[in-house]
A and B are shown apart, each in its own frame.
Chain A
Amino acid sequence: MFGMEFYVDPSRCIGCQACLKACEECDTHRGISMINFDFVDRKESIATAAYVCWHCENPTCAQVCPADAIKKYEDGIVGSSLKPRCIGCSNCVLACPFGIPKLVPEYEQMMKCDMCYDRTSVGKRPMCATVCPSQALTYVTPETIAATRREKPVNTFWFGNQKIMTKVYMMAPADAGAIAIDVADYTWEGEHEVVPQAF
């Protein structure tokens, strides 16, 4: 959709996995979900994170592909591997700094998020960003994101010395102090045992 960009804000994520379920309903890869989803550390926190492909400006996956099976399109979208070319070697799976591509054994092919090319190319929003109930995944204009969010979009990532610019934006967290995540830290059991809250 013209003028729209994709924004990921893990601080909004409630871990419901609607994105994961909705992705497999997409017409180009029916039954297979391309969402990367994690409980960050369930013992310590309820934090969860759902990601799509970041669609790098210079995609590492395409650079390392020995079969030239991964293409970046004019609009900046990096596609899934081309079925006739992909040899299932997993170079891209290993090389992607974000850990996005997956080898799908049934198809002996690497598949990953193509930003719902079937939908975005005809003016619809990607399936995940449409259904996401917390709008941790959202697909709007830069003006809308600037006007409505307190977090700031970032699309430059450093992996050691490798600088990566991406089409998809990460919302950087609002300015906050340390936040305790253990309920026991908040629990009152006497005058001197409560950890001060970060507000």
Chain B
Amino acid sequence: MAKAPLSLDELAGRYGPHLNYVPQGGWQGDSGQQPEKLVKTHCCFCGQQCGIQLKVRDNHVIGFEPWEEFPFNRGMLCPKGVKRYLQGNHPDRLLDPLMRTDEGFRPAAWDEALDFTARRLRELQEKYGADSVAVYGGASLTTEKAYLMGKFARVALGTRHIDYNGRLCMVSAGTAYKGALGVDRAPNPWSDIPAAEVIMVIGANIGECAPITTDYIWRARDKGAKLIVADPRFTPIARNADLFLPVRPGTDLALLMAMLHVIIRDGLTDRDFIEAHTTGFEKTAESVEAWTPQRAAEVSGVAPDAIERAAHWVGESRRAMLMHARGLEHHSKGVENCEAVVAIALVTGNIGREGAGPIMVTGQGNGQGGREHGQKCDQLPGQRSLTDPAAREHVAGVWGISPDELPGPGYTAVEIMNAIHSGEIKGLLSICFNPLVSLPDANFTREALERLEFFGIIDFFLSETAMHADVVLAGSLQEEEEGVTANVEARVIHIRKAVDPPGNARTDSDIICDLARRLGRGQYFPFREPREIFEELRLASRGGIADYYGITYEKIDEQMGVFWPCPTLEHPGTPRLFEDSRFFHPDGKAHLMNLAWRESGDPVDAEYPTYLTTGRVVSQYLSGTQTRRIGALVDQYPDPKLEIHPRLAEQCGIRAGDWVTVTSRRSAITLEAMVVRTIRPDTVFIPYHWPRDRSANRLTHRTLDPRSKIPEYKVSACRVERAAGPPEWARDRSPQLAQGGRA
């Protein structure tokens, strides 16, 4: 059983997170020496994938230098990018495979760890069936690794259950765009943003979660563009909004439907475009007919005249962009929310041109590339459907297997955890995923992990989830293996290898291929380096929606990235989609949808009267496995705080700095109150990057969008009370922080 072998405190004492403040060689020592080489590559963190140069000396990354020639970010970086290099040479780094013992973990030889992993996976499959083991992947992996994970699950293990942590990120937007436009991608390159006349940002904390995009929006404003921001919080970019819409959590759809209502009522639609290039307009129009601004105001808490104004600004412009991220998508109606945004763009003809389009702001590093080539439970490489016979035949042909051997679609990420909890799935192999921190209802996740009969993990640090593993295979950081990712614009970019993995750690793709060999399927995994995986990926994606056939590492370097689809070697790539108003459906048209309102899955009531919403802070990234180990980033925002409006704080008898207990229908956590006027008075906010009793995800619920299967992180019901004193985690946090300081 995959219970943690020691107490979590004991494990944390040994494996961290500890804080690394100082570059290899010390501030005054070798780190200030000239590097042996500057490696042009990209940040390992968010979907912006900013260009950066890593300074390398003696096989260590010792610092960074901005990469000003890379056109997307032109040298700009956020604090995570600046300090990213400190995850290398880290005291917590796993240098050997670990096997669990009664006393904790012991280092093991690779043969032992890999043979054990292969044997246990096969034993479970022989005993309980092929689908009794599942694979978790991640969206920080390079596209080569993501492709390899999909192939590994289906060809080496033969399980239908593979999914990835992008399920917590892009699937609502992906489902909506695929359904409406026939393709899962932001239609415009970022260079289009400054050309917009109106930018509406809904549910996207651009300043903190996509920081360098701020400059693109400010450039548009400098040219006179109007900025509309819809969010329950006054996020950093809201300070310059021309119109701020303080939407109540879970009610974005009401706001968007009322905007559509006004656009149609007042004749702001582009009738020629609708007629020539879309289907389903009547359906959409009918579904928003009853959604007057007044009705939407009652639901969303946004004033009717502000809704009218937003609708007019967008509807009267033919260069309007609508940007959205997880704030819109992390809902049990996340797909409808995105469909409504796409519908506004379509009915006003705002698509396929510079400065016009619906824009999904992809959050994870390779959130775009990681979802295109087969680690999604229902997809094959090239954004192909796993249930499409032609797609199965094509990919099976590239892989050298019969289409009949390809399993069908499996469970999504949260459903896999549910199936582990219920005992249906007995074994799990996970890479680049920390579900104990990132999945909703963390106590449920912990119970599930404890029921696994075998749990293997590939990771470079011992994440909170990895503490439950039977075997931990010491893998590689992003800068330790070459590959490609696709950034937020679907620009395929080149991740260059800067250093070798330290100690006995190995590259991720090497580990996966070795494991496949030990499972007796080595003939399908002959790859000696990532380039060989990429060559096969090009073929597997050929003719698909996300067609990479015309992309090579060299072409990426020459062009500073290649936007897919890129079907031939001569093709320059496709920065902007739909320029000819042809959409990716067989009929060439965009499909407008019926929109239907429904309540969120965890409604407020007398006992839990307050809305809870969760999100990120600028100095931390996702589950924090990397960023909670970097001293300068931890110092910036050491522990989660509860953002609460003074009006609610007063009602609850809470003052700034008080310890408060937040209780949901799942659990309760205690944290410090930050009393601010920058949030709705009926809503509180907690960032989610922390584990255990600081974990916002102990409070969130497992309701999923029925189509995208994304959890509803952005709205839960809770109550807030003043706590008697600090929680246990706050009493013992000082020693760890005290290890910091300058060297």
Residues on A lying within 8 angstroms of B by beta carbon are 11-18, 20-22, 24-25, 27, 30-32, 42-48, 106, 125, 127, 130-135, 148-150, 181-184, 186-189, 194, 197, 199
User: Roughly how many angstroms separate A150 CA and B219 CA in the complex, as a whole number?
Assistant: 10
Q: Is B79 an interface residue (CB 8 A)?
A: yes
Chain A residues closer than 8 Å to B82, beta-carbon distance? 18, 21-22, 25, 131
Q: Which of B109-117, B147-155, B676-684 contacts A (4 or more CB under 8 A)?
A: B676-684
Partner of A106, one of B207, B245, B675, B742: B742
Give Cα A199 to B677, complex, Å. 20
Residues of B within 8 A of A47 (CB): 239
A146 CB → nearest B CB, Å: 11
Q: Are A183 and B680 in contact (CB under 8 A)?
A: yes
Whether A43 pairs with B675 at a CB distance below 8 angstroms is yes
- Is A16 a contact of B239 with CB atoms below 8 Å? no
Do residues A125 and B75 form an inter-chain contact, with CB atoms below 8 A? yes
Q: Which of B60-68, B339-347, B518-526, B570-578 contacts A (4 or more CB under 8 A)?
A: B60-68
Closest to B219 in A: A148
Are A16 and B207 CB-contacts (below 8 A) given A42-B676, A181-B234, A197-B306? yes
What per-residue 1/0 map shows which CB atoms of B70-85 lie under 8 Å from chain A?
0001011111011100
Please state if A46 and B215 are interface contacts (CB–CB under 8 Å): no
Chain B residues with CB below 8 A from A186, complex form? 244-246, 303, 306
Q: Is the CB of B77 within 8 A of A18?
A: yes
Residues in A with CB closer than 8 Å to B243 are: 197, 199
Contacting pair B236 A22 (CB below 8 A): no
Q: Mark B593-636 against chain A: 1 for CB-CB distance below 8 A, else 0.
A: 00000000000000000000000001100000000000011001
The 9 closest A-B pairs by CB, nearest first: A14-B207, A31-B27, A14-B236, A133-B211, A188-B303, A133-B212, A30-B27, A134-B214, A182-B677
Q: In the bound complex, how far is the Cα of B389 from the Cα of A89, in angstroms?
A: 79
On whether the beta carbons of B677 and A14 are closer than 8 Å, the reply is: no
Q: Mark B7-34, 1 if CB is under 8 A from A, else 0.
A: 0000000000000001000011001100
Contacting residues, chain B, for A25 (C-beta < 8 A):
63-64, 82
Q: Tell me the bound Cα distance from A24 to B233 in angstroms.
A: 31
Distance (whole angstroms) from the CB of A102 to the closest CB of chain B: 14
B646 proximity list for chain A (CB < 8 A): 43
Q: Are A22 and B77 in contact, with the CB atoms below 8 A?
A: yes
B645 close to A43 (CB less than 8 A): no
Q: Given the known A-B contacts A149-B222, A199-B242, are A134 and B215 also in contact in the complex, defined by CB atoms under 8 Å?
A: yes
In the bound complex, residues from chain A placing their C-beta under 8 Å from that of B632 are: 21, 24
- Contact between B302 and A15, CB atoms less than 8 A apart: no
| B79 close to A18 (CB less than 8 A) | yes
State how many angstroms separate the Cβ of A5 from the closest Cβ of chain B: 17
Q: Does B409 contact A (CB under 8 A)?
A: no
- Cβ contacts under 8 Å, B232 to chain A: 183
Given contacts A47-B239, A133-B211, A135-B218, list 19 more A-B pairs with CB under 8 A. Answer: A14-B236, A16-B207, A18-B76, A18-B79, A30-B32, A31-B742, A45-B677, A45-B678, A46-B236, A46-B678, A131-B77, A134-B214, A183-B681, A184-B645, A184-B647, A184-B680, A186-B306, A194-B303, A194-B306
Determine the main DSSP class of A at the interface with B: loop
| A183 and B234 contact, Cβ closer than 8 Å, known pairs A14-B208, A47-B239 | yes
Query: Are B681 and A187 interface neighbours, CB within 8 A?
Result: yes
- Look across to chain B and name the residue whose beta carbon is closest to the beta carbon of A184: B681
B454 vs chain A, min Cβ distance (A): 41
Cβ of A188: which chain B residues have Cβ within 8 Å of it? 297, 301-304, 306
Among B79, B304, B674, the residue within 8 A (CB) of A17 is B79
- Min Cβ gap B697→A in Å is 24
Show 5 A/B contacts (Cβ-Cβ < 8 Å), sorted by A.
A14-B214, A43-B646, A183-B234, A183-B677, A184-B647
Closest to A106 in B: B742
Taken residue by residue from 293 to 323, chain B's Cβ proximity to chain A (1 for < 8 Å, 0 otherwise) reads as: 0000100011111100100000000000000
Please, what's the 1-or-0 string for B227-268, where 1 marks a CB less than 8 Å from any CB in chain A? 000001111111110111110000000000000000000000
The answer to whether B211 and A43 touch across the interface, beta carbons within 8 angstroms, is no
C-alpha gap A135/B242 in the complex (Å): 20
Min CB distance, A38 to chain B, in Å?
14
Judge whether B211 and A14 touch: CB under 8 Å. yes
Q: Tell whether B738 is near chain A: CB-to-CB under 8 Å.
A: no
How many cross-chain pairs have Cβ atoms below 8 Å apart between A and B? 163
- Among B77, B232, B233, B618, which residue has the most Cβ atoms of chain A within 10 A? B77
Q: How far is the CB of B181 from chain A (nearest CB, A)?
A: 29
Which chain B positions have C-beta within 8 A of A24?
632
Chain B residues closer than 8 Å to A46, beta-carbon distance: 234-236, 238-239, 678
Q: How far is the CA of A182 from the CA of B675 in the complex (A)?
A: 12
Query: Is B656 in the interface zone, CB < 8 Å from A?
Result: yes
Which residues in B have their C-beta under 8 angstroms from that of A183?
A: 232-234, 244, 246, 645, 677-681
Q: Which of A18, A125, A148 has the largest count of B CB atoms less than 10 A from its CB?
A: A18
Q: Is the CB of A132 within 8 A of B76?
A: yes
Inter-chain contact B239/A45, CB cutoff 8 Å = yes
Most buried by B among A43, A131, A149, A194: A131
Is residue B743 within 8 Å, beta carbon to beta carbon, of the partner chain? Answer: yes
CA distance A184 to B232 in the complex (A): 10
**A150 near B234: Cβ-Cβ < 8 Å:** no
* Residues of A with C-beta under 8 A to B242: 199
Across the two chains, which residue of chain B brings its CB closest to A182? B677
Check A11/B618 contact, CB under 8 A, given A189-B301, A197-B244. Answer: no
Q: How far is the CA of A116 from the CA of B214 in the complex (A)?
A: 24
- Cβ contact within 8 Å between A17 and B77: no
Expressed in whole angstroms, the Cα–Cα distance for A106 and B76 within the complex equals 31
When A31-B743, A125-B75 are in contact, do A133 and B22 touch as well, CB less than 8 Å?
no
Whether B538 sits at the interface, judged by CB under 8 Å, is no
In the complex, what distance in Å separates the CA atom of A13 from the CA atom of B742? 27
| Of B75, B303, B656, most A-chain CB atoms within 10 Å | B303
Give chain A residues whose Cβ lies under 8 Å from the Cβ of B618.
14-17
- A43 CB contact (under 8 Å) in B27, B75, B301, B656: B656
Most chain A beta carbons < 10 A, residue from B73, B218, B681? B218
Please tell me if B221 contacts chain A, counting CB pairs below 8 Å.
yes
Most chain B CB atoms below 10 A, which of A15, A30, A45: A30
In B457-488, the 8 Å CB interface with A consists of none
Which residues on B sit within 8 Å (CB–CB) of A148?
219, 222
Which parts of B656-694 form the interface with A (CB within 8 Å)? 656, 674-681
Alpha-carbon gap, A15 to B190, bound state (A):
22
Please, which residues of chain A bring their CB within 8 A of the CB of B245?
186
CA distance A13 to B239 in the complex (A): 10
CA distance A38 to B301 in the complex (A): 32
Question: Given the complex of chains A and B, what is the CA–CA distance between A162 and B275 in angstroms?
Answer: 67
A27-B32 in contact given A183-B680, A199-B243 (Cβ < 8 Å): yes
Q: A43-B656, A150-B221 are in contact. Are A16 and B675 (CB under 8 A)?
A: no
State whether A16 touches B79 (Cβ < 8 A): yes
* Contact residues in A for B28 (Cβ distance below 8 Å): 30-31
| Residue ID in chain A nearest B233 by CB atoms | A183
**Cβ-defined partner of A134 (8 Å) among B22, B218, B676:** B218
Closest chain B CB from A155 CB (angstroms): 20
How distant is B363 from chain A, measured CB to nearest CB, in Å? Answer: 16
The docked-state distance in angstroms from the alpha carbon of A13 to that of B301 is 28
Closest-CB distance, B615 to chain A (whole angstroms)? 14
Q: How far is the CA of A118 from the CA of B457 in the complex (A)?
A: 45
Shortest C-beta distance, B382 to chain A (Å), equals 33
How distant is the Cα of A172 from the Cα of B215 in the complex, in angstroms? 18
Query: Which residues of B sit under 8 angstroms from A125, Cβ to Cβ?
Result: 68, 75
Chain B residues near A130: list those with CB within 8 A.
66, 68, 75-76
Q: How far is the CB of A181 from chain B (nearest CB, A)?
A: 7
- Please, how many angstroms separate the alpha-carbon atoms of A46 and B743 in the complex? 33
Q: Report the minimal beta-carbon distance from B69 to chain A, rounded to whole angstroms.
A: 12
B450 to chain A minimum Cβ distance, whole angstroms, is: 38
Expressed in whole angstroms, the minimum distance between the Cβ of A34 and any Cβ of chain B is 14
Q: In the complex where A43-B677, A183-B246, A184-B647 touch, is A14 in contact with B237 (Cβ < 8 A)?
A: yes
Contacts of B674 in A (CB 8 A): 42
How far is it, in angstroms, between the C-alpha of A106 and the C-alpha of B681 when the chains are bound?
45
